[in-house]
Amino acid sequence: MTPQRRARIFAMRHGICGDATLGEKDWGCGRKLKVAEWWTVEHHPALENGGIDDDEFCFVICSLCKGKKDGDDHALAGHGRRAYTRHVVPS
């Protein structure tokens, strides 16, 4: 992701951690991020769970909230892999 794209997404989301408009679950704390604060861009749903890499499906998230979102994303992806294996791979 280019620095220009990160800046565009940050501006589009008004520098607020998380975005409840992207789905039923909002992982962000909803506060305005400070100038020197660490943040990253996340996708909803996550790319590993079939998300789309378009700006409108991205939001910014602070370092405190990122761990929870990553944990939820990895758990969902693991569940999908286990379900696929259970139904497709012969015993």
| Per-residue pLDDT at 56 exceeds 60 | yes
Which helix (H) or strand (E) covers residue 80, if one does?
A: helix 63-88
| Contact residues for 38 (Cβ-Cβ < 8 A; gap 6+) | 62, 63
When the pLDDT of each residue in the chain is averaged and rounded to a whole number, the result is 87
| pLDDT tens by residue, 13-48 | 999 998 767 655 667 888 999 989 999 999 988 898
Q: Is the pTM of this model over 0.75?
A: yes
Mean pLDDT, residues 57-82 taken together: 87
Write phi, then psi, for 55 (nearest 5 degrees).
Answer: -55, -40
Show the tokens assigned to 71.
Answer: 């944990």
- Contact (Cβ atoms closer than 8 angstroms) between residue 41 and residue 27: no
| Confidence band, pLDDT 50/70/90 cuts, at residue 71 | confident
Helix (H, G, I), strand (E, B), or coil: what is residue 56?
helix
